[in-house]
Amino acid sequence: MFRQFWSVLCLLLLVSSANLSAQRKILFGVVMDTAGKPLEAAGVSAIRARVHASSDASGRFTIAGLAKGREVFQVRRIGYQAQVFELELGQDDTIRIGVTLARDSAQQLPELGVVVPRSASPAERLEQEAIERILASGAPASSLIPRTELAKSNSGRLYPLLLKHGLKSRIDRRGRDRLVCPRGAGSPTIYLDGLRMASDFDFESFTPDQVEIIEVYRSRSARPAQYNTTGSACTVLIWTRK
């Protein structure tokens, strides 16, 4: 009787352990410069999971404890342009990536002279503020569309990008294709450079090359307090390039 109980207990522990490992993802990566040289001491952050790591002498890093779904990553190193990108973490328990950082010419120092700290550019400040809002939301129902993703858009439209980041499409009574919140809960509230737009605002009048960054908050609980519009089920913040 005792042996049967012990066998069942061991089996349950093995199954529980297997299920737990299947739910959590591990990211292995390497950070290099444009010449293919490994970069040491690059900071790698999983923004939603709030997990951080640094690359070693060979440029390698490991981030564990990631959940299935979309995750936003940021890779930074002094003297290099930061990279912000999003990955869809699927069924695989282990994900392997390579990240290339380009030299930031504004941060290259002369051989002789006084070192003067470089002030963040308006675009960098905007990106950091957007990342902080996403972090503060603390909810998976939020998403960041960085400049790197906007630049890769082949359609020349914002519509497909917003569909990719959780909003839905619905045909209205006039046969027009409209963007709606998840589960069809009304139209999203649009803010352009921090100002609330009218309900008939046509965000398609902007192309991806005119936009610096987009924040998508797909639920009431996810959106920042300063953009908490009564009656709106989801919110989209569009920040244009200056």
φ and ψ at residue 144, rounded to 5 degrees:
-115, 130
Domain residue ranges of the chain, discontinuous segments joined by +:
23-104, 136-240
Whats the size of the chain, residue-wise?
242
Rounded to the nearest integer, the mean pLDDT of the chain is 78
Query: What does the pLDDT look like over 78-100, one tens digit per residue?
Result: 888 888 888 888 776 788 888 88
- Residues 49 and 46: their CA atoms lie apart, in Å, by 6
Contact 170, 163 (CB under 8 A): no
CATH class of domain segment(s) 136-240: mainly beta
| Residue 145, beta-bridge partner list | 214
Report, at the CATH architecture level, how domain 23-104 is classified: Sandwich (2.60)
Residue 58 has pLDDT above 70, yes or no: yes
Q: Name the pTM for this structure.
A: 0.53
CB atoms within 10 A of CB 46: 22
Higher pLDDT pick, 27 / 12: 27
For residue 49, the model assigns a pLDDT of: 82
Closest CA to 205 of 139, 153, 159: 159
Query: What does the pLDDT look like over 218-232, one tens digit per residue?
Result: 887 778 888 876 667
Q: Which of 23-27, 141-145, 151-155 has the lowest mean pLDDT?
A: 23-27
Which residue has 């998976």 as its token pair? 140
Residue 17 has pLDDT above 50, yes or no: no
- Residues 198 and 136: their CA atoms lie apart, in Å, by 26
- Residues 56 and 39: their CA atoms lie apart, in Å, by 8
